[in-house]
Amino acid sequence: MSYISSVKVKDSLPFDSAKEIYGLADLYRGETESTRKIASAVVEGLIDLKLFRMGLPKSLGGWEDNPVETLKVYEILASADASVAWVVWNNHMSCTLGRYLDEDSMKEVYGNPSHAYSNSARPEGVATIVPGGYSVSGQWTIVSGCELADWFVLRCLISSPEAPVTLDDLGPGANLKLFFIPKEDVKIADTWNVGGLNGTGSHDVVIKEAFVKEEYAVNFGDPVGIDNAYSRLPIGCINAAGCAAMALGVLRATMDDLIKICLEKVTPGKNPDIRDRIVVQATIAKSKTLLDSRRLQLHNSVTALWEVAQDDGTFSDVQLADIWAASCEAAREARAMTSELYSVAGISSIYKIFKIEKRHRDIHAILQHGIIQPHWLSQAGMAYVGLKPTAAMFRT
C-alpha cells in the first residue's frame, strides 16, 4: 500500500499531520510489532508530512514555533501506536542536536527531506583525535529507529594518541562530544527483543574506526548555528515533556479502549455488564480527570518557557523545574492509571483485539527512560527550595 497525503504540508500544523498518520499507524500496528520497526507505509507518511523534522529550523522543514504542538503530536501518535510516537520523538531529539552544527554542516546533514535520524546520548564510543577530525569506534545500545536512519548522532569519549583513554575512564569532567555519522559507517546488531515498544527497533549500533571530520563533532553548550527561539529551548526538559506526552497518549487510548468495551459488551437480560460495575465507572471518570489535568499542567509549563525563549532565552531554575516536575508526574500517574484501567477491564485486558494488553506493555517501557526518572523530581525540588540543581542536563 502506497501512502498518499491529503494534507497540504505547507499550510498544516504538525498536529493536523499527526491526525492523518493516526489511522495509518493503527492500521499497520501489527506489522510494526512483528517486524520490530515502523511499517514502511507509516514511515513514508511521516516523511511526507515532515514529522521527523519538527526539531529543525523552518528553512529545513522544521516547526520552529510553540513546542506544545510537538507534545500534541506525540500524544496522538502514541494513542495509535506508542512505537511510532517514540521514533518521531527520537527524531526530534536528533534534529535539535543539530543546532550545534555550523550552518553549512547543518545543511549537509539535514538537507535531504526524505532522511530520518537516530541518536544516543550515552557515551558508549571512543573518538580518537586524528588529522582533520576523529576516528570513532564503539557500540551504542538502545538506538531507537536505527534501521530507518540515514544519519546518527552518537556520543563519544574523546581520546588522543598522546593521552589515550578508554570507556573505563568515564567519570565527572570527562571530555565528551556528539558525532554526526552517516549510515554507511554504521552496522546494526540485532538486539531488540522486548515486550513494550517492540516496534521501535531500538537495536545496538556498531562503528569501527569511522572518520568524522571536525565540523561534525559538537557538544552541549556549543554556540548554535542558527539562533532562533526554538534553538534557545533547553533540550533536556523539553525532551522529558515529550516523553510524558507519549505516556498521556497511551493513557488516553487505554481509557478509550475500555469505554469501547463497555459500549460493545452489552448483554440485555443477562448478568450485569462491565459498564455496570461501579469500579469501572469510577476508574474511567478518574482517568479522564487525571488526563485532562496533567496535560494542561504540562502544556502550560512548556508554553511559559516558550514565551521566555521568544524574548531573551534566560530561563530561571524554577521555570525549568516546572517542566521537569510536570513531566515526571504526568508520566508516573499515566502509568499508574493505565495499570488501573487494565486491572478493572478484567479478562478483556489480555486479548490483543482490545489493544489494552499492548498499551500496558508500552507504557511500562516508556517509563524506563532516564529522562523521566524520579531523581528529576528531586532536582526540581532543589530549585523550589532555593538550591541550585546539580544535574548537568537540568539546564541544557
pLDDT in tens, the chain (396 residues): 566 666 655 568 999 999 999 999 999 999 999 999 999 999 999 999 999 999 999 999 999 999 999 999 999 999 999 999 999 999 999 999 999 999 999 999 999 999 999 999 999 999 999 999 999 999 999 999 999 999 999 999 999 999 899 999 988 889 999 999 999 999 999 999 999 999 999 999 999 999 999 999 999 989 999 999 999 999 999 999 999 999 999 999 999 999 999 998 888 777 788 999 999 999 999 999 999 999 999 999 999 999 999 998 799 999 999 999 999 999 999 999 999 999 999 988 898 888 999 999 999 999 999 999 999 999 999 999 999 999 989 999
Collect all residues with Cβ–Cβ distance below 8 Å to 17 and sequence separation of at least 6: 7, 9, 49, 50, 51, 73
Residue 82 counted as domain residue: yes
End-to-end CA distance of the chain: 42
Domain match, 251 and 336 both: yes
Specify the pLDDT at position 348.
86
Grid cell digits, residue 313: 532565552
| Residue 190 structural domain | 117-218
Q: Where is the domain boundary, 65, 100, 135?
A: 100
Domain match, 256 and 388 both: yes
Instruction: Compute, in degrees rounded to 10, the torsion defined by CA atoms 199, 205, 210, 216.
Output: 50
Q: Which residue has the cell 498536529?
A: 15
Residue 129 counted as domain residue: yes
Q: Where is the domain boundary, 71, 100, 129?
A: 100
Specify the pLDDT at position 81.
98
Domain match, 258 and 374 both: yes
Domain match, 212 and 132 both: yes
Collect all residues with Cβ–Cβ distance below 8 Å to 128 and sequence separation of at least 6: 134, 135, 136, 137, 159, 160, 161, 164
Strand pairing class (217-218; 117-130): unpaired
Specify the pLDDT at position 14.
97
CB 59 within 8 A of CB 20: no
The helix/strand/coil state of 319 is helix
Domain match, 277 and 311 both: yes
Residue 51 counted as domain residue: yes
For residue 144, the cross-strand partners are: none
State the Cα–Cα distance between residues 381 and 367, nearest whole angstrom: 20
For residue 128, the cross-strand partners are: 135, 159
Collect all residues with Cβ–Cβ distance below 8 Å to 353 and sequence separation of at least 6: none
Number of domains in the chain: 3
Residue 111 counted as domain residue: no
Specify the pLDDT at position 11.
64
DSSP notation for 95-146: HHGGGGS-HHHHHHHH--TT--EEEEEEEEEEEEEETTEEEEEEEES--TTG
Angle, vertex CA 184, rays to CA 220 and CA 222, nearest 5: 10
Domain match, 93 and 126 both: no
Q: Which residue has the cell 557500540?
A: 139
Collect all residues with Cβ–Cβ distance below 8 Å to 387 and sequence separation of at least 6: none
Domain match, 270 and 357 both: yes
The gap from C-alpha 24 to its chain's centroid, in whole angstroms, comes to 19
For residue 363, the cross-strand partners are: none
pTM score, two decimals? 0.95
Residue 175 counted as domain residue: yes
Instruction: Compute, in degrees rounded to 10, the torsion defined by CA atoms 241, 140, 33, 284.
Output: -30
Domain match, 364 and 273 both: yes
Specify the pLDDT at position 266.
81
Residue 343 counted as domain residue: yes
Domain match, 126 and 93 both: no
Domain match, 145 and 13 both: no
Domain match, 242 and 390 both: yes
Residue 110 counted as domain residue: no
Query: Closest Cα partner for 74 from 62, 64, 88?
Result: 88
Strand pairing class (204-213; 187-189): antiparallel
CATH number of the domain encompassing residue 171: 2.40.110.10
Collect all residues with Cβ–Cβ distance below 8 Å to 180 and sequence separation of at least 6: 98, 101, 105, 109, 151, 152, 153, 212, 216, 217, 218
Domain match, 201 and 71 both: no
Residue 242 counted as domain residue: yes
CATH number of the domain encompassing residue 360: 1.20.140.10
Q: If you count them, how many residues does the chain have?
A: 396
CATH number of the domain encompassing residue 92: 1.10.540.10
- The residue type of 282 is A
